[in-house]
Structure 1
Amino acid sequence: MTQTDISLKTKQTMVASLKKFMETKPLSKITVSEICKDCGFNRKTFYYHFEDIYDLLRWMLEQEAIIAVKKFNLLEDSEKVVRFLLDYVDSNKHILNCVYDAMGREGMKRFFLADFNGSIDLIIAGMEKETGTALAPGYRQFLCSFYSNALSGILIDWFHDRTIRTREEMIHYITMTVASSLRGAVSTKADSYGPAYK
Protein backbone atom coordinates (compact mmCIF):
# COMPACT_ATOMS: atom_id res chain seq x y z
CA MET A 1 0.00 0.00 0.00
CA THR A 2 1.42 3.40 -0.98
CA GLN A 3 1.67 6.39 1.35
CA THR A 4 -1.15 8.04 -0.62
CA ASP A 5 -3.37 4.97 -0.10
CA ILE A 6 -2.58 4.91 3.62
CA SER A 7 -3.35 8.63 3.93
CA LEU A 8 -6.66 8.21 2.08
CA LYS A 9 -7.66 5.25 4.26
CA THR A 10 -6.79 7.26 7.40
CA LYS A 11 -8.95 10.17 6.23
CA GLN A 12 -11.84 7.85 5.36
CA THR A 13 -11.64 6.26 8.82
CA MET A 14 -11.89 9.71 10.40
CA VAL A 15 -14.86 10.58 8.17
CA ALA A 16 -16.68 7.40 9.28
CA SER A 17 -16.04 8.36 12.89
CA LEU A 18 -17.26 11.92 12.36
CA LYS A 19 -20.45 10.62 10.75
CA LYS A 20 -21.02 8.26 13.66
CA PHE A 21 -20.71 11.07 16.20
CA MET A 22 -22.93 13.37 14.13
CA GLU A 23 -25.74 10.84 14.55
CA THR A 24 -25.82 11.50 18.29
CA LYS A 25 -24.52 15.02 18.94
CA PRO A 26 -24.18 18.49 17.40
CA LEU A 27 -21.10 19.18 15.30
CA SER A 28 -19.93 21.86 17.74
CA LYS A 29 -19.76 19.25 20.52
CA ILE A 30 -17.60 16.75 18.62
CA THR A 31 -13.93 16.92 19.55
CA VAL A 32 -10.71 15.90 17.85
CA SER A 33 -9.90 13.76 20.91
CA GLU A 34 -13.13 11.76 20.51
CA ILE A 35 -12.44 11.08 16.85
CA CYS A 36 -8.84 10.06 17.55
CA LYS A 37 -9.88 7.73 20.36
CA ASP A 38 -12.63 6.19 18.22
CA CYS A 39 -10.22 5.61 15.30
CA GLY A 40 -7.24 4.52 17.39
CA PHE A 41 -5.14 7.44 16.10
CA ASN A 42 -3.19 10.04 18.01
CA ARG A 43 -3.88 13.78 17.72
CA LYS A 44 -0.72 14.25 15.65
CA THR A 45 -2.20 11.96 12.98
CA PHE A 46 -5.40 14.00 12.90
CA TYR A 47 -3.58 17.33 12.59
CA TYR A 48 -1.27 15.93 9.93
CA HIS A 49 -4.33 15.49 7.71
CA PHE A 50 -6.75 18.20 8.87
CA GLU A 51 -6.64 21.61 10.54
CA ASP A 52 -9.79 21.02 12.60
CA ILE A 53 -13.18 19.26 12.61
CA TYR A 54 -14.53 21.67 9.99
CA ASP A 55 -11.63 20.88 7.67
CA LEU A 56 -12.47 17.17 8.04
CA LEU A 57 -16.12 17.95 7.30
CA ARG A 58 -15.16 20.01 4.23
CA TRP A 59 -13.01 17.15 2.91
CA MET A 60 -15.87 14.69 3.47
CA LEU A 61 -18.33 16.85 1.52
CA GLU A 62 -15.82 17.37 -1.28
CA GLN A 63 -15.09 13.65 -1.59
CA GLU A 64 -18.69 12.52 -1.47
CA ALA A 65 -20.36 15.20 -3.55
CA ILE A 66 -18.18 17.71 -5.34
CA ILE A 67 -15.53 15.36 -6.78
CA ALA A 68 -18.29 13.00 -7.92
CA VAL A 69 -20.03 15.90 -9.70
CA LYS A 70 -16.81 16.74 -11.56
CA LYS A 71 -16.85 13.26 -13.15
CA PHE A 72 -19.93 14.22 -15.15
CA ASN A 73 -19.80 16.10 -18.42
CA LEU A 74 -21.34 19.26 -16.98
CA LEU A 75 -22.55 20.52 -20.36
CA GLU A 76 -24.21 17.29 -21.49
CA ASP A 77 -25.23 15.78 -18.14
CA SER A 78 -26.57 18.82 -16.26
CA GLU A 79 -29.80 17.04 -15.29
CA LYS A 80 -27.84 14.05 -13.95
CA VAL A 81 -25.66 16.43 -11.92
CA VAL A 82 -28.69 18.10 -10.33
CA ARG A 83 -30.26 14.69 -9.60
CA PHE A 84 -27.01 13.51 -8.02
CA LEU A 85 -26.83 16.60 -5.79
CA LEU A 86 -30.44 16.22 -4.65
CA ASP A 87 -29.86 12.49 -3.99
CA TYR A 88 -26.85 13.45 -1.89
CA VAL A 89 -28.94 15.94 0.09
CA ASP A 90 -31.63 13.28 0.64
CA SER A 91 -29.12 10.61 1.71
CA ASN A 92 -27.27 12.89 4.10
CA LYS A 93 -30.08 14.92 5.67
CA HIS A 94 -28.87 14.35 9.21
CA ILE A 95 -25.27 15.34 8.44
CA LEU A 96 -26.34 18.44 6.53
CA ASN A 97 -28.69 19.39 9.38
CA CYS A 98 -25.71 19.20 11.76
CA VAL A 99 -23.71 21.47 9.44
CA TYR A 100 -26.62 23.90 9.14
CA ASP A 101 -27.18 23.99 12.91
CA ALA A 102 -23.49 24.52 13.64
CA MET A 103 -22.66 27.03 10.93
CA GLY A 104 -25.91 28.63 9.85
CA ARG A 105 -27.00 29.31 6.31
CA GLU A 106 -24.02 31.48 5.35
CA GLY A 107 -21.50 29.06 6.81
CA MET A 108 -23.02 26.17 4.91
CA LYS A 109 -23.09 28.26 1.74
CA ARG A 110 -19.35 28.95 2.04
CA PHE A 111 -18.72 25.20 1.97
CA PHE A 112 -20.25 24.94 -1.49
CA LEU A 113 -19.23 28.22 -3.11
CA ALA A 114 -15.63 27.47 -4.11
CA ASP A 115 -16.52 24.10 -5.60
CA PHE A 116 -19.60 25.36 -7.42
CA ASN A 117 -17.47 28.23 -8.72
CA GLY A 118 -15.04 25.71 -10.25
CA SER A 119 -17.88 23.71 -11.81
CA ILE A 120 -19.49 26.81 -13.34
CA ASP A 121 -16.11 27.86 -14.71
CA LEU A 122 -15.81 24.47 -16.47
CA ILE A 123 -19.29 24.89 -17.97
CA ILE A 124 -18.40 28.38 -19.22
CA ALA A 125 -15.16 27.06 -20.75
CA GLY A 126 -17.17 24.40 -22.60
CA MET A 127 -19.68 26.97 -23.85
CA GLU A 128 -16.88 29.30 -24.98
CA LYS A 129 -15.36 26.47 -26.98
CA GLU A 130 -18.76 25.56 -28.43
CA THR A 131 -19.55 29.13 -29.51
CA GLY A 132 -16.04 30.33 -30.35
CA THR A 133 -16.42 33.06 -27.73
CA ALA A 134 -13.83 34.34 -25.25
CA LEU A 135 -15.32 36.25 -22.32
CA ALA A 136 -13.55 39.14 -20.66
CA PRO A 137 -11.95 37.80 -17.43
CA GLY A 138 -13.95 40.18 -15.23
CA TYR A 139 -17.25 39.10 -16.74
CA ARG A 140 -16.30 35.43 -16.56
CA GLN A 141 -15.51 35.80 -12.85
CA PHE A 142 -18.81 37.65 -12.34
CA LEU A 143 -20.77 34.82 -14.00
CA CYS A 144 -19.03 32.19 -11.86
CA SER A 145 -19.82 34.13 -8.69
CA PHE A 146 -23.40 34.87 -9.76
CA TYR A 147 -24.35 31.28 -10.60
CA SER A 148 -22.41 29.75 -7.68
CA ASN A 149 -24.23 31.98 -5.19
CA ALA A 150 -27.58 31.27 -6.85
CA LEU A 151 -27.09 27.48 -6.88
CA SER A 152 -25.75 27.33 -3.32
CA GLY A 153 -28.59 29.47 -2.03
CA ILE A 154 -31.37 27.62 -3.84
CA LEU A 155 -30.08 24.17 -2.76
CA ILE A 156 -29.78 25.26 0.87
CA ASP A 157 -33.27 26.80 0.81
CA TRP A 158 -34.70 23.57 -0.59
CA PHE A 159 -32.76 21.42 1.87
CA HIS A 160 -34.06 23.54 4.76
CA ASP A 161 -37.68 23.72 3.52
CA ARG A 162 -38.90 21.02 1.12
CA THR A 163 -42.32 22.67 0.78
CA ILE A 164 -40.86 25.40 -1.46
CA ARG A 165 -41.00 23.18 -4.55
CA THR A 166 -40.98 19.51 -5.47
CA ARG A 167 -37.84 17.58 -6.27
CA GLU A 168 -38.79 17.32 -9.96
CA GLU A 169 -39.48 21.06 -10.11
CA MET A 170 -36.05 21.72 -8.63
CA ILE A 171 -34.37 19.50 -11.22
CA HIS A 172 -36.29 21.04 -14.11
CA TYR A 173 -35.94 24.67 -12.99
CA ILE A 174 -32.22 24.49 -12.21
CA THR A 175 -31.35 22.59 -15.40
CA MET A 176 -33.44 24.83 -17.64
CA THR A 177 -32.33 28.11 -16.04
CA VAL A 178 -28.61 27.41 -15.94
CA ALA A 179 -28.50 25.95 -19.45
CA SER A 180 -30.47 28.71 -21.15
CA SER A 181 -29.39 31.81 -19.24
CA LEU A 182 -25.70 30.91 -18.95
CA ARG A 183 -25.53 29.97 -22.62
CA GLY A 184 -27.14 33.32 -23.45
CA ALA A 185 -24.69 35.20 -21.24
CA VAL A 186 -21.69 33.48 -22.81
CA SER A 187 -22.85 34.02 -26.39
CA THR A 188 -23.58 37.71 -25.72
CA LYS A 189 -19.84 38.42 -25.46
CA ALA A 190 -19.82 40.89 -22.60
CA ASP A 191 -16.44 42.19 -23.76
CA SER A 192 -18.23 43.83 -26.68
CA TYR A 193 -19.93 46.21 -24.23
CA GLY A 194 -16.72 48.11 -23.62
CA PRO A 195 -14.07 48.55 -20.93
CA ALA A 196 -16.52 48.93 -18.04
CA TYR A 197 -17.36 45.23 -18.36
CA LYS A 198 -13.80 43.93 -18.48
Structure 2
Amino acid sequence: MKYEVTSLNTKKLFAQALKSIVIQKSFSKVTVSELIRECKVNRKTFYYHFTDVYDLLKWTLEQEAIDVVKKFDLIVDYEEVILFVIDYIEKNNKFLNNIYDSLGRDQLKRFFYTDFVGIIESLIKRAEKETNIILPHHFKSFLAAFYTEATAGIIVEWITHQEQQSKEELITYISVIFRSALPAAVKQFSENSKGNAGLPHPNSL
Protein backbone atom coordinates (compact mmCIF):
# COMPACT_ATOMS: atom_id res chain seq x y z
CA MET A 1 0.00 0.00 0.00
CA LYS A 2 2.85 2.36 0.91
CA TYR A 3 4.51 1.66 -2.45
CA GLU A 4 1.29 2.44 -4.33
CA VAL A 5 1.00 5.79 -2.56
CA THR A 6 4.63 6.61 -3.34
CA SER A 7 4.14 5.67 -7.00
CA LEU A 8 1.00 7.82 -7.24
CA ASN A 9 2.81 10.77 -5.65
CA THR A 10 5.65 10.40 -8.15
CA LYS A 11 3.19 10.42 -11.04
CA LYS A 12 1.50 13.52 -9.62
CA LEU A 13 4.89 15.19 -9.35
CA PHE A 14 5.51 14.56 -13.06
CA ALA A 15 1.99 15.75 -13.90
CA GLN A 16 2.52 19.02 -12.06
CA ALA A 17 5.89 19.49 -13.78
CA LEU A 18 4.26 18.90 -17.17
CA LYS A 19 1.59 21.51 -16.49
CA SER A 20 4.18 24.04 -15.33
CA ILE A 21 6.25 23.55 -18.48
CA VAL A 22 3.35 23.46 -20.96
CA ILE A 23 2.03 26.78 -19.63
CA GLN A 24 5.30 28.30 -20.86
CA LYS A 25 5.82 26.43 -24.16
CA SER A 26 4.24 24.12 -26.72
CA PHE A 27 3.53 20.57 -25.57
CA SER A 28 5.28 19.20 -28.65
CA LYS A 29 8.55 20.75 -27.43
CA VAL A 30 8.46 19.24 -23.92
CA THR A 31 11.24 16.71 -23.29
CA VAL A 32 11.79 14.01 -20.71
CA SER A 33 15.03 15.77 -19.74
CA GLU A 34 13.09 18.89 -18.75
CA LEU A 35 10.63 16.87 -16.70
CA ILE A 36 13.25 14.94 -14.74
CA ARG A 37 15.16 18.19 -14.05
CA GLU A 38 11.97 19.81 -12.80
CA CYS A 39 11.15 16.83 -10.57
CA LYS A 40 14.79 16.25 -9.48
CA VAL A 41 14.66 12.53 -10.30
CA ASN A 42 16.53 10.33 -12.78
CA ARG A 43 15.42 9.25 -16.25
CA LYS A 44 14.83 5.69 -15.09
CA THR A 45 12.16 6.93 -12.66
CA PHE A 46 10.25 8.60 -15.47
CA TYR A 47 10.29 5.56 -17.74
CA TYR A 48 9.28 3.31 -14.88
CA HIS A 49 5.98 5.20 -14.69
CA PHE A 50 5.41 6.43 -18.26
CA THR A 51 6.35 5.29 -21.75
CA ASP A 52 6.75 8.87 -23.06
CA VAL A 53 5.57 12.46 -22.55
CA TYR A 54 2.31 11.74 -24.39
CA ASP A 55 1.59 8.92 -21.93
CA LEU A 56 2.18 11.36 -19.06
CA LEU A 57 -0.26 13.82 -20.64
CA LYS A 58 -2.90 11.11 -20.96
CA TRP A 59 -2.46 10.13 -17.32
CA THR A 60 -2.55 13.77 -16.18
CA LEU A 61 -5.87 14.50 -17.87
CA GLU A 62 -7.38 11.21 -16.70
CA GLN A 63 -6.20 11.68 -13.13
CA GLU A 64 -7.46 15.25 -12.85
CA ALA A 65 -10.75 14.87 -14.69
CA ILE A 66 -11.85 11.29 -15.24
CA ASP A 67 -11.13 9.98 -11.74
CA VAL A 68 -13.12 12.84 -10.19
CA VAL A 69 -15.98 12.32 -12.64
CA LYS A 70 -16.20 8.69 -11.51
CA LYS A 71 -17.06 9.86 -7.99
CA PHE A 72 -20.34 11.37 -9.16
CA ASP A 73 -23.63 9.55 -9.55
CA LEU A 74 -23.68 10.05 -13.30
CA ILE A 75 -27.42 9.50 -13.69
CA VAL A 76 -28.35 12.06 -11.02
CA ASP A 77 -25.43 14.48 -11.14
CA TYR A 78 -24.59 14.68 -14.85
CA GLU A 79 -24.99 18.47 -14.92
CA GLU A 80 -22.52 18.73 -12.01
CA VAL A 81 -20.11 16.49 -13.94
CA ILE A 82 -20.31 18.73 -17.01
CA LEU A 83 -19.85 21.80 -14.77
CA PHE A 84 -16.80 20.16 -13.19
CA VAL A 85 -15.22 19.51 -16.58
CA ILE A 86 -15.94 23.06 -17.76
CA ASP A 87 -14.53 24.52 -14.52
CA TYR A 88 -11.43 22.38 -15.07
CA ILE A 89 -11.08 23.83 -18.57
CA GLU A 90 -11.37 27.39 -17.21
CA LYS A 91 -8.78 26.81 -14.48
CA ASN A 92 -6.36 25.12 -16.90
CA ASN A 93 -7.10 27.23 -19.96
CA LYS A 94 -3.52 28.06 -20.97
CA PHE A 95 -2.38 24.47 -20.41
CA LEU A 96 -5.21 23.05 -22.55
CA ASN A 97 -4.85 25.68 -25.27
CA ASN A 98 -1.16 24.87 -25.64
CA ILE A 99 -2.04 21.16 -25.91
CA TYR A 100 -4.70 22.04 -28.49
CA ASP A 101 -2.15 24.00 -30.52
CA SER A 102 0.35 21.11 -30.39
CA LEU A 103 -1.89 18.08 -30.83
CA GLY A 104 -4.87 19.47 -32.71
CA ARG A 105 -8.58 19.21 -32.09
CA ASP A 106 -9.02 15.47 -32.71
CA GLN A 107 -6.23 14.37 -30.38
CA LEU A 108 -7.50 16.51 -27.51
CA LYS A 109 -11.05 15.35 -28.16
CA ARG A 110 -9.92 11.76 -27.57
CA PHE A 111 -9.07 12.63 -23.98
CA PHE A 112 -12.42 14.26 -23.30
CA TYR A 113 -14.23 11.39 -25.04
CA THR A 114 -13.28 9.16 -22.10
CA ASP A 115 -14.68 11.77 -19.71
CA PHE A 116 -18.11 11.70 -21.28
CA VAL A 117 -18.73 8.17 -22.50
CA GLY A 118 -19.59 7.00 -18.96
CA ILE A 119 -22.00 9.91 -18.52
CA ILE A 120 -23.78 9.18 -21.78
CA GLU A 121 -24.06 5.45 -21.04
CA SER A 122 -25.62 6.25 -17.67
CA LEU A 123 -28.09 8.67 -19.25
CA ILE A 124 -29.09 6.06 -21.83
CA LYS A 125 -29.84 3.68 -18.95
CA ARG A 126 -31.96 6.38 -17.33
CA ALA A 127 -33.84 6.93 -20.61
CA GLU A 128 -34.50 3.18 -20.78
CA LYS A 129 -35.95 3.28 -17.26
CA GLU A 130 -38.10 6.33 -18.00
CA THR A 131 -39.53 4.81 -21.18
CA ASN A 132 -39.62 1.22 -19.89
CA ILE A 133 -37.79 0.16 -23.05
CA ILE A 134 -34.67 -2.02 -23.18
CA LEU A 135 -32.49 -1.21 -26.17
CA PRO A 136 -30.39 -3.83 -27.99
CA HIS A 137 -26.68 -3.59 -27.31
CA HIS A 138 -25.75 -2.51 -30.86
CA PHE A 139 -28.03 0.56 -30.74
CA LYS A 140 -26.94 1.50 -27.21
CA SER A 141 -23.31 1.43 -28.36
CA PHE A 142 -24.16 3.57 -31.39
CA LEU A 143 -26.13 6.05 -29.28
CA ALA A 144 -23.35 6.34 -26.69
CA ALA A 145 -20.71 6.90 -29.39
CA PHE A 146 -22.87 9.42 -31.24
CA TYR A 147 -23.62 11.65 -28.25
CA THR A 148 -20.14 11.27 -26.75
CA GLU A 149 -18.49 12.36 -29.99
CA ALA A 150 -20.80 15.37 -30.15
CA THR A 151 -20.30 16.35 -26.49
CA ALA A 152 -16.53 15.92 -26.53
CA GLY A 153 -16.33 17.89 -29.78
CA ILE A 154 -18.38 20.77 -28.36
CA ILE A 155 -16.28 20.88 -25.18
CA VAL A 156 -12.99 20.95 -27.11
CA GLU A 157 -14.36 23.69 -29.39
CA TRP A 158 -15.31 25.71 -26.29
CA ILE A 159 -11.69 25.61 -25.07
CA THR A 160 -10.66 27.99 -27.85
CA HIS A 161 -13.92 29.95 -28.19
CA GLN A 162 -15.01 30.63 -24.62
CA GLU A 163 -15.76 34.26 -25.41
CA GLN A 164 -18.59 33.19 -27.74
CA GLN A 165 -20.62 31.33 -25.13
CA SER A 166 -20.88 31.34 -21.35
CA LYS A 167 -20.42 28.08 -19.46
CA GLU A 168 -23.98 28.45 -18.09
CA GLU A 169 -25.35 28.52 -21.64
CA LEU A 170 -23.21 25.56 -22.66
CA ILE A 171 -24.41 23.43 -19.72
CA THR A 172 -28.04 24.42 -20.37
CA TYR A 173 -27.84 23.52 -24.07
CA ILE A 174 -26.19 20.15 -23.42
CA SER A 175 -28.70 19.33 -20.66
CA VAL A 176 -31.68 20.17 -22.88
CA ILE A 177 -30.39 17.77 -25.53
CA PHE A 178 -29.80 14.99 -22.99
CA ARG A 179 -33.22 15.43 -21.36
CA SER A 180 -35.25 15.57 -24.56
CA ALA A 181 -33.36 13.87 -27.38
CA LEU A 182 -32.20 10.70 -25.61
CA PRO A 183 -35.66 9.51 -24.44
CA ALA A 184 -37.07 10.46 -27.85
CA ALA A 185 -34.39 8.40 -29.61
CA VAL A 186 -35.12 5.40 -27.38
CA LYS A 187 -38.87 5.60 -28.11
CA GLN A 188 -38.36 6.15 -31.84
CA PHE A 189 -36.01 3.18 -32.15
CA SER A 190 -38.50 0.99 -30.31
CA GLU A 191 -41.35 2.04 -32.61
CA ASN A 192 -39.20 1.47 -35.70
CA SER A 193 -38.15 -1.94 -34.42
CA LYS A 194 -41.78 -2.98 -33.96
CA GLY A 195 -42.56 -1.90 -37.51
CA ASN A 196 -39.62 -3.90 -38.83
CA ALA A 197 -39.93 -6.89 -36.53
CA GLY A 198 -39.38 -9.35 -39.34
CA LEU A 199 -36.21 -7.74 -40.65
CA PRO A 200 -32.77 -8.94 -39.58
CA HIS A 201 -30.21 -6.61 -38.01
CA PRO A 202 -27.80 -5.21 -40.69
CA ASN A 203 -24.79 -6.87 -39.02
CA SER A 204 -26.39 -10.27 -39.47
CA LEU A 205 -26.61 -9.92 -43.26
When normalised by structure 2's length, the TM-score is 0.87
Q: Offset of 1:189 from its aligned partner?
A: 4.7
Structure 1 residues 188, 75: CA separation in 2 closer, same or farther (over 3 Å shift)? farther
2:114 and 2:167 mapped to 1: Cα distance?
24
2:170 and 2:155 mapped to 1: Cα distance?
9
Q: Look up the equivalent residue of 1:42 and give its one-letter code.
A: N
Structure 1 residues 117, 197: CA separation in 2 closer, same or farther (over 3 Å shift)? farther
Structure 1 regions of 5+ residues with no counterpart?
none
Structure 1 residues 126, 42: CA separation in 2 closer, same or farther (over 3 Å shift)? farther
Q: How does 1:55-134 map to 2 (within 5 A)?
A: 55-134=55-134
Q: Tell me, what secondary structure is at the counterpart of 2:25?
A: coil
Structure 1 residues 75, 188: CA separation in 2 closer, same or farther (over 3 Å shift)? farther
Q: Tell me, what secondary structure is at the counterpart of 1:24?
A: coil
Q: 2:181 — aligned with what?
A: 181
Deviations along 1:133-190, one digit per CA (max 9) or x if unpaired, are 3211111111111011100111111221124322221111011111221122234454
Q: Look up the equivalent residue of 1:114 and give its one-letter code.
A: T
Deviations along 1:20-79, one digit per CA (max 9) or x if unpaired, are 111211111111111112212222221221121111111111111122122222222222
| CA RMSD across the alignment | 2.0
- The answer on whether the counterparts of 2:130 and 2:183 sit within 8 Å (CA) in structure 1 is no
Q: 2:201 — aligned with what?
A: 196
Q: Tell me, what secondary structure is at the counterpart of 2:17?
A: helix
Q: Look up the equivalent residue of 2:45 and give its one-letter code.
A: T
Which stretch of structure 1 is more off in the superposition, 13-22 or 116-125? 116-125
Q: Look up the equivalent residue of 2:201 and give its one-letter code.
A: A
- The answer on whether the counterparts of 1:134 and 1:189 sit within 8 Å (CA) in structure 2 is no
Between Structure 1 and Structure 2, whose CA radius of gyration is higher?
A: 2
Q: 1:41 — aligned with what?
A: 41
Q: Look up the equivalent residue of 2:82 and give its one-letter code.
A: V
- The answer on whether the counterparts of 1:70 and 1:119 sit within 8 Å (CA) in structure 2 is no
2:135 and 2:161 mapped to 1: Cα distance?
36
Deviations along 1:66-111, one digit per CA (max 9) or x if unpaired, are 2212222222222212211111111000110111011111111112
- The answer on whether the counterparts of 2:36 and 2:42 sit within 8 Å (CA) in structure 1 is yes
Which stretch of structure 1 is more off in the superposition, 113-122 or 1-10? 113-122
Which stretch of structure 1 is more off in the superposition, 184-193 or 59-68? 184-193
Q: Look up the equivalent residue of 2:79 and give its one-letter code.
A: E
2:80 and 2:7 mapped to 1: Cα distance?
31
When normalised by structure 1's length, the TM-score is 0.90
